[in-house]
Chain A
């Protein structure tokens, strides 16, 4: 068990070194990749329940005040992650374990009441690419709201695509082709290369949910710096979003309304009654609950609750538009989650605006 941050860095660096050598010599990895999952946290580490969904958790402190070992047991499985809580709201979970095992665990872990994964819409993944060399991407779109027989001739019900390339051209060209033909181009991951003076510092794959895999690397510090930059950008966006939360306060002269609703603009008209049923039935992907309290053929108003956090929200749905009202104490991650899920499961061309313009 690792006792300090220095030891953790050393182990992660040894793993990426071993993988690099193994790739060069045998063409395959020798160890499980170093992976970092960024999660959104609204609690202290001691609030993590010791058992959930069949997982038993033991939290071990290290010499570093912010770093904890997380020993997880599930049936006969045992694996270890390291939680870095330095950034209050966004924790980093490092691991060098089997990807499938960790993905399953993270799915349940981020479903706990006060934790959530990141939800990066494709625009945020595009921004990450912009300063690095983009050598691949994944697209995963699945129409979950409407059945195939409800779709038009030109609508796509499902598109899964994964491209890895040595250079950046194939990635850019294929993506352009998708956009030009109005096909779903919502990236769920992007593969980026950081090269300095012909030397690969890292080749990382960033997923929309905050998972970052080191596919190749020479310098763990560069990977950590890269992850921190993603946290900074997400955190800045979160602040902007949460500045729009609405409240009513009494002043010496009347009442003051702060914040403003978000406006969602769909790329086409939708049957709002069908759409609302899917949005507020508490199930994947939206995980929202609600009651409808004002409706006509082309308008309905929802008083809702995010069943992941218990936060309340209000929403108006129109054929081409939606309005989302976030109250004062609601977690801004709901906007990321809702918007990203609409991209992935309903409308890849959807946009969301606040008073200043496009949010993403």
Chain B
């Protein structure tokens, strides 16, 4: 279980921060401009007790730990210790060090919840730079970044014109609404490539993609069960004309005509829209 899953929009904030490290015009590219690249997501670093920051970015001479905060209350017991990480700890973890004089820094990123977190952070003696990513991106509280380039970039309020890029699509515990589109694309991909008959486990593995191998067996089995429930739900609702099953073997059938595919797309969109609040369960936790 990764700590990207602890709050509903935590993954959104992670994506919002990751997006800063790509060379976009449609989204602020502060970290890219300052020369930072994504090094690790959720590195576990022993100093010697483990800490687990959300993201580590690395430039030619700086490392930046980014902690993504979605809530108004929870700070996390280890956040204060992020400042204690030294280069030797990264080396121990097999992370490439780009320069002899690498300096490390920490930043807290969030939405308007950061306004509420300020007091608690101060109480705990944490004064890392705090950057709000909402309608604008800007440092609002905390000490300066050690990197003057970041200071210059984050000191100015810059409008965020679009949603953040989708670097991480979902995690295994994301709400079903976030995973459903990728289940539908997997069904369509299977249909096109002549693999329209499938076992639920195979479908689940394909949908989860890169994540699958990182999950332990029991979690994989739980996800397969959830997928079965999801498919049954699809079959009884908008996708009744397309899905069939006999025990664990399912099939998807859509006539090979663009109008039929369009209809399937419309039905999938309707299904996604109609996932009401009751259905906004976390995929992992189930209904």
Residues of A within 8 A of B (CB): 113, 246-257, 260-261, 263, 265, 280-283, 289-294, 296, 298-299, 301, 303-305, 307, 309-312, 314, 316, 318, 320-321, 323, 325, 327-328, 353-356
Contact = CB atoms under 8 A, between A and B. Distances in A.
B94 interface: yes
A305 B192 contact: yes
B154 to A, nearest CB: 21
B26 A261 contact: no
Contact of B168 (A248, A298, A327): A248
Q: Which of B180, B184, B190, B213 has the most CB of A within 10 A?
A: B184
Contacts of A316: 26, 162-163, 165-166
B163 A254 contact: no
13 contacts: A250-B214, A252-B93, A255-B41, A261-B22, A282-B258, A303-B182, A310-B188, A312-B185, A312-B189, A316-B166, A327-B209, A353-B23, A355-B22
Contact of B210 (A248, A254, A354): A248
A304 to B, nearest CB: 7
B192 A307 contact: yes
Nearest to A290: B265
Given A113-B193, A247-B210, A253-B95, A320 B26 contact: yes
Interface stretch (B42-50, B72-80, B144-152): B42-50
Interface residues of B, number: 53
A305 B93 contact: no
B24 A305 contact: no
B246 to A, nearest CB: 24
Contacts of A312: 182, 185-186, 189
Q: Which of B162, B169, B182 has the most CB of A within 10 A?
A: B162
A291 B94 contact: no
Nearest to B262: A281
Nearest to B4: A255
Is chain A's interface secondary structure helix, strand, loop, or mixed overall? strand
Given A289-B261, A305-B185, A321 B162 contact: yes
A257 B261 contact: no
Given A263-B24, A290-B265, A307-B261, A253 B181 contact: no
Contact of B165 (A249, A252, A291, A323): A323
Interface in B150-198: 161-163, 165-169, 177-178, 180-182, 184-186, 188-190, 192-194
Interface in B94-109: 94-95
B181 A291 contact: yes
A246 B95 CA distance: 20
A4 B56 CA distance: 58
B18 interface: yes
B163 A248 contact: no
Contacts of A263: 23-26
Interface string B100-121: 0000000000000000000000
B25 A325 contact: no
Given A303-B184, A318-B26, A291 B272 contact: yes
Contacts of B165: 261, 316, 323, 325
Interface in B190-218: 190, 192-194, 209-211, 213-214
A289 B190 CA distance: 13
Contacts of B25: 263, 265, 321, 353
Contacts of B23: 260, 263, 353-356
A159 to B, nearest CB: 27
A261 B27 CA distance: 12
B18 A257 contact: yes
Q: Which of A282, A283, A290 has the most CB of B within 10 A?
A: A282
Contact of A303 (B18, B181, B211): B181
A314 B94 contact: no
B137 to A, nearest CB: 17
Given A305-B188, A316-B163, A318-B162, A257 B41 contact: yes
A283 B258 contact: yes
Q: When A and B form their complex, which 7 residue pairs have the shortest distance between CB atoms, in order from nearest?
A: A254-B40, A254-B43, A303-B181, A253-B93, A310-B192, A321-B26, A310-B193
B269 interface: yes
